[in-house]
Amino acid sequence: MSVHVSELTSGEEAAWRTYVDEHSEATLFHSLLWRDVLRNTFKHECRYAMAHRDGAVVGVVPMVAIRSVFFGRSAISVPFGVYGGILADDEEATRVLVEHGRGLARDVGASYVELRHLTPPPGLALPSNDLYSTFACELPDDPSEVLGMIPRKSRAEVRKARKRGDIKTDVGPLELGEFHRLFALNKRKLGSPVFPRSLFWHLADLFGDDCNVLTVRHDGRPVAAVMNFVWRHTLMSYYSGALDHANRLSANNLMYVAAMEHAVERGLKCFDFGRSRKGTGAFAFKKNMGFVPRDLHYSYILAEGEALPQINASNPKYRLAQSLFKHLPKFAAEKLGSFVAKRMPV
């Protein structure tokens, strides 16, 4: 029988969860928990769709409509996520879900739909870019073996930090004020909008024990921290922040080694370091930690006459905005950042 597509209703959420749970290419960002975080934090319009054949689910695509006076209208799969896109059993399901995305773009007046595939579905043929790479590795069975996985220079930095008696790490639930202060400092330094505190509160609340924060402390004070998520057998280190002098303390190298060790202690098998844009300091740092980049090919359904969007820090148009955010006072950066982030296809 042919494939038909319908938008997700509350009565079909159990079927969505089952399909995502059983699909080998599903990611954290296909989870309905991620949708609920976006709804609760930003009130985004979530237009998730399921493909059916003969009563069985054969594909899904999570899509969120973004309306912005700054960036126009778009649909993203998914905002604030580095993966997403279409999950499908076969080429027919992929094709029908792409056509549904094209119809959604017309419906909301979007100039494009961005599909952030970690692994493209069968038969996908859309324009794409390769600005980003992701980084992941298999983990050993014993946490004592983690340090030996990383290159000599980075290993030396971790050992240097651990020899100091005034630097410690701990893992625990989100301490919102403490974590957000470090995160906001990093965002301002990069000239990026500061995400609202409510985003992190909702993430911790909805993901529960599958969300934690690893913090590096110097003389008991936090100098670096990273929010981690557990998805299947993987620990994903995602949002992070650090004080300016954290590098002098080797805190960042220590933080990610400690995160990997924590993952092994939890019985997890993989570590996902997340995406970075090529040519950035974050990209170089992950390579220097021994991770091999894997290209992400984000795919686009474009409205007629539209070119691939260039909404990233490499676009000269955004240098003025970056300079503004770098020099705003902390309070103003957080207030303005929350307003802008809701209206950005990030």
**pLDDT per position as a tens digit, 36-49:** 999 999 999 999 99
| SS3 per residue for 50-119 | EEEECCEEEEEECCEEEEECCCEEEEEECCCCCCCCCEECCHHHHHHHHHHHHHHHHHHCCCEEEECCCC
Domains within the chain, CATH numbers bracketed: 4-126 (3.40.630.30), 134-295 (3.40.630.30)
Contact 153, 313 (CB under 8 A): no
**330 three-class SS:** helix
By CB atoms closer than 10 A (0-12, 13-18, 19+), residue 281 is exposed
C-beta atoms surrounding 337 within 10 Å: 21
Give tens-digit pLDDT for 87-109: 999 999 999 999 999 999 999 99
C-beta atoms surrounding 279 within 10 Å: 9
Contact 238, 217 (CB under 8 A): no
CA atoms of 80 and 214, how far apart (whole Å): 20
Per the structure block, which two tokens stand in for 210? Answer: 């599958």
Contact 235, 226 (CB under 8 A): no
Digit-by-digit pLDDT tens for the chain (346 residues) are 699 999 999 999 999 999 999 999 999 999 999 999 999 999 999 999 999 999 999 999 999 999 876 778 999 999 999 999 999 999 999 999 999 999 999 999 999 999 999 999 999 999 999 999 999 999 999 999 999 999 999 999 999 999 999 999 999 999 999 999 999 988 888 778 889 999 999 999 999 999 999 999 999 999 999 999 999 999 999 999 999 999 999 999 999 999 999 999 999 999 999 999 999 999 999 999 999 999 998 999 999 999 898 876 666 666 666 666 666 776 666 777 667 776 777 8
- What pLDDT is recorded for position 275? 96
- What pLDDT is recorded for position 18? 98
Mean pLDDT, the chain, whole residue set: 93
Per the structure block, which two tokens stand in for 108? Answer: 């909301």
Q: Tokens 């324009």 identify what position?
A: 127
CA atoms of 71 and 79, how far apart (whole Å): 14
pTM: 0.93
By CB atoms closer than 10 A (0-12, 13-18, 19+), residue 81 is buried
CA 73 to each of CA 37, 133, 268, 299: distance values in angstroms, whole numbers, following the listed order: 21, 25, 39, 17
